[in-house]
Structure 1
Amino acid sequence: MMARMDRSTQIKAMASQPRLLILRLLAAPQKHFGQQWSADPAELGVCMTLIAEALAVAQPTASRHLDILRQAGFITVRKHLKWSYCKRDEAAISDYLDWLRAELSMKS
């Protein structure tokens, strides 16, 4: 069983259009980042530099968004050679969506 993430951190992560876009892009890494030559985007993840380019933001801005997603548990970040690669954590995203669905349907 996975450790439960802080729900307020997860809500904060989801309350941002750029972060939602990152999660959508990472849902189909081969489609959106097939040009990545340094590693297989589906297997290892997507280089932070390419994510910044896809968002059309500066690297520090992208890094901040990615760090919030990592803190929320929605992505994993792995170093490979001199780059950092990001990949969705499908189990954590699914757990959050299940929790949110249950919260929204609770009877008072």
Structure 2
Amino acid sequence: MDRSTQIKAMSSAVRLRVLSLLAEPQKHFGHQWSADAVEFGVCMTMIADALGVAQPTASRHLEILRQAGFITVRKHQKWSYCKRDTAAIDAYLGWLRNELLLE
């Protein structure tokens, strides 16, 4: 994975908020009716609403998170669903700890 892309992804308060929201999809998106938020992921439209931003703005942030490997995006019919990749986030944090000689 390209670490510079991951660093860029983590450098935005909005993207950190997305990762935080997706850490507890049932809590934040339990009202999603089109698919199970935990199993399938969260609809991009609902993420945009939760952030209070326009759909294109949310899509841009989500694409950066996808490129960094921190979320997966799954299409179903006309919607796209996002799911947090905890293993990828943990690997990044481990790398960062090691780079900063914190271990």
Band of TM-score, shorter chain: over 0.9
TM-score by length of structure 2 reads 0.97
Gapped regions of structure 2 (runs ≥ 5): none
**C-alpha separation between the residues in 2 aligned to 1:80 and 1:99?**
33
Paired residue secondary structure (1:105): coil
Amino acid at match of 1:79: K
State the partner residue of 2:27: 31
Amino acid at match of 1:81: Q
**C-alpha separation between the residues in 1 aligned to 2:45 and 2:76?**
13
State the partner residue of 2:52: 56
State the partner residue of 1:93: 89
1:11 Cα offset (Å):
0.2
**C-alpha separation between the residues in 1 aligned to 2:86 and 2:23?**
9
State the partner residue of 1:75: 71
Quick check: 1:22 aligned with 2:52?
A: no
Amino acid at match of 2:24: A
1:80 Cα offset (Å):
1.0
State the partner residue of 2:6: 10
TM-score by length of structure 1 reads 0.93
**C-alpha separation between the residues in 2 aligned to 1:81 and 1:91?**
27
**C-alpha separation between the residues in 1 aligned to 2:36 and 2:78?**
15
> Cα RMSD (Å) of the superposition?
0.8
Runs of 4+ with deviation above 3 angstroms: none
Point out the more displaced range, 39-48 or 97-106.
97-106
Paired residue secondary structure (2:73): strand
